[in-house]
Structure 1
Amino acid sequence: MKQDLFGQSTSLMQNATLDSWNKAQLGFLAHAAITPEHLGAVLAAEPDFALGQAVKGLFCLLLGRREMMQPARDALRVAQESAKNSPVSAREMTFVSALENWMSGDPGKSVQTLEGGLRANPDDTLAMKLSQAIRFVLGDSAGMRRSVERVLPSYDADHPGYGYLLGCHAFSLEETGDYDTALASGLKALTLAPDDAWGLHAVAHVHDMTGNAASGLEWLDGREAAWAHCNNFRYHVWWHKALMHLDMGQIDAVLDLYDTHVRADHTDDYRDISNGTALLMRLELNGVNVGPRWQELADLSAARTEDGCLIFADLHYMLALTGDGRTTDAARLVAR
């Protein structure tokens, strides 16, 4: 067995695969667009890596898309078979069990399985971030904070995951109303992990929640490199910037950011649709004519009315459909 960059044992056999695995983990922590490529390289080289297959399955489920259920099932099957046919540590089995639980329809139990792993290995940064990600889609802000604060004492300042852990702490602090501590934690996170877009985003949240739009814009301006590497999470950071301009009454800037960044790519990921719908709704509530911008969101949402993977996603599909007057499609979503 080989140890990864966080000091956790893995069942990987090849140094090159371990390097790709380390890059995949760091990419996940930084919300990097290249993360799937690194994970793909791992599984292409060592397809029987049960932990890697379990993480692939969990990543699929986090996408909240019906068509990703089958790849998740396939990953689970391979992970289970690998665990039967070769030595797999209790830690790696924790991730396989977490995937089993979510595939059985119980993401809350998946979280608790990961938390059990964190009690055994509190400095397991991968388990920490996955627990945070699942709790986030469940809306469990208090649980996010409890989870991070349980493991914080186990991290030394030179732990490779410490900056990302602080970014997660900052967001959970903000979501539970502790804005001053959240700001301090987020700023420290970025000094340790400059590519921690989640920590940067947490600081943006603080400025938003405390009504300091000008300070928020000052915080984001010039830091675009901190989220340029991101997957579609980068659209969400631009969304926050647009909200700050909206708070300052700068409607032209909001519409420009919407067209050039927030919805520059007409993607159908539920998180991207939620960015668009939430911003258009706010604009209309402020009396702004948004023109035909609802249409592409409604077109994409109409194709996802049968997903039923996440309540958060369904609500934003509904917002897009009603925003464009698609009563038939909206009724189909309700009926499901």
Structure 2
Amino acid sequence: MSPKQYKIKVGISIGDYNGIGPEIIMKSLKDKSITDFFTPIIFGSGKLFTYQKNIFKLQHNFNYITEVAQAQDDKINMVNLWKDNVNVNLGTPTEESTRMAIDSLEAATNALINGEIDVLVTAPINKEEMMKHGFQHAGHTGYLEEKFGKKGLMFLVTNDLKVAVSTHHIPLASVAENISKEKIKKQIKLLNQCLIEDFCIERPKIAVLGLNPHAGDGGTIGREEIEIIEPAIRELFDNGVLAFGPYPADSYFQPGKYKNFDAVLAMYHDQGLAPFKTLAYEEGVNYTAGLPYVRTSPDHGVAYDIAGKNIADEQSFTEAIFMAIKIFNNRKEYNDLITNRMQPRRSSSANSPDEDLPVDRA
């Protein structure tokens, strides 16, 4: 198959099936032409999805397989991880649904590492329940960082708004002690490179928010801006990275301000995600930037309160699929460009005849 004909293999983990995971997955794949664009590979259970597709009156035909190598390009493929009957209790997490969420994520992640799938899209999980059953991380990001051996950055994106957060799932009381000049420098550089490679922005402009109200008000409401954040920004700017700030978070997310930048680095989870989810809830995508593999997810949770009611909106999950494909293609194009640029050119000198010219053998 030529590169032009190659269809990207999108691996999908199902999350907690007592939430809205299977519903939004199936709704995102309901268009019969969807396999013209990519090859879906769900790491789940045939019996579970058959049960739930009947609840939502969806007409999917799955290609049940036991390993990824059996996937077909023109099918919605289901790696059948569990062949036994599944107890479904929509709206309530159970030990069975939690363990399946862990198993699905691990199988999909291993397939990504082994090159069996190209990108990973993860349905929502219940972090608290998973940790009760042996999962060691407060979310996908920490898990993927450990699996891939590299630090990532939580990055919420749409076409117009891109928000990264410096500290992820930690208590608010621990935020100040978890930021440093060197950490912020690394994150801004990572974000800058991600915008270049994954989003094709040649010279990204990055805004950085302050930690304290009014960005510290010149040191009267905290000195983190003066002692940590501003020096990091200034040092990077002096070395060619277009980083600006620190800006007060309470006024940054006005359309006339944030649209002047390509991305923003917030200092903590709610500082960045609360405005993001307000401005871009239905179309937002959670992307783990800086990892060697592409992983996206919708920007919402398991939504137990609406599970089984057939009212879950799949738009964010659909956006996550196509954002993963777009980033994969952008990254490949960038790497191909860099590789070609680095190819040594054959040099000619006055003492070496050009191969295209006739040689006088007289």
Same fold at TM > 0.5: no
Rg bigger for which structure?
A: 2
Q: Which structure is higher in helix share?
A: 1
Q: Which structure is higher in strand share?
A: 2
Which structure has more relative contact order (CA 8 Å, sep 6+)? It is 2
TM-score, normalising length: structure 2 = 0.33
TM-score, normalising length: structure 1 = 0.35
